[in-house]
A = this chain, B = another copy of it.
């Protein structure tokens, strides 16, 4: 009963591997589905050319989550398109391709080429907070840039649905989501990491991340994710991939009650291991059963009533 329809897709459960986590290769994502039990997977965000990203430390646990500034490292579109193809051959779950670009033109080009691999959804990352020094402010910090990116990606995406991934900052996530919807987005992914933040080693007296600052993910950000999904749900009709701080079934249920259709899970892989997808999917099912609901649709957005 946990299987869900999302846009034109059928997932065995509502959990989705979030972008940037174990999403580099077909093998890795295949294992997240087969062993981990994810309902769908999202690739690491990629753009045209490969990037090494920031030096280590680039991913740093602190007591309440992670700080990361991987710097959008990725092997580039050529390799990623191959991996998407391999995944589709090997696994039955949907795959979401997460793309980004440094310019509007690059978004167009990356979309065109990614579409060839026929991912089940294009997730457009306009909200990575960790490449400021290189890219300037994220596109997602501006309503007009977000509109432009959405429009151009939709133009080249053909029949493949497009979800825009937004962060909790900038001009307000609800307004951003509205602009995405108006420009044709099929879904919203909310949220990317929060902050960014910084941690300093007090003994060597230096910021620990090589990029100095990094986005906050994990349990610390759950309330901000819940609030973001809640606001987006109020503003738009398109479905939401709620993401951020989910480590327990109860967290996922909060996001669904706030309005999420699917549940992105990233950092929880660190806390709970790769089987976290299955655990959370089962927990959601148990919740539905406890209260006599027969599908997710019945509880989505209920916190608004």
Contacts and interface: CB of A to CB of B under 8 A. Distances in A.
Interface stretch (A36-44, A59-67, A89-97, A147-155): A59-67
Q: Which of A63, A205, A258 has the most CB of B within 10 A?
A: A205
B202 A65 contact: no
A20 interface: no
Interface in A195-224: 195-200, 202, 205-207, 212-214, 216, 219-224
Interface string A165-203: 000110000000000000000000000001111111010
Contacts of A223: 62, 67, 195-199, 214, 216
Nearest to A207: B303
Contacts of A7: none
Contacts of A169: 169
Nearest to A203: B291
Nearest to A219: B64
Contacts of A67: 223
Nearest to A248: B63
Q: Which of A200, A214, A250, A302 has the most CB of B within 10 A?
A: A200
A163 to B, nearest CB: 22
B303 A227 contact: no
A135 interface: no
Copies of this protein chain in the complex:
2
Given A63-B219, A207-B230, A216-B223, A254 B168 contact: no
Contact of A224 (B197, B253, B254, B305): B197
Given A65-B220, A198-B258, A200-B254, 19 more contacts: A62-B223, A64-B65, A64-B219, A169-B169, A194-B194, A196-B223, A197-B224, A197-B225, A197-B226, A198-B223, A199-B222, A199-B223, A200-B230, A200-B258, A202-B253, A205-B257, A205-B299, A216-B224, A219-B220
Interface of A: 62-65, 67, 168-169, 194-200, 202, 205-207, 212-214, 216, 219-227, 230, 250, 253-254, 257-258, 287, 299, 302-303, 305
12 contacts: A62-B222, A67-B223, A169-B169, A195-B223, A196-B224, A196-B227, A197-B222, A198-B230, A199-B254, A200-B230, A200-B254, A216-B220
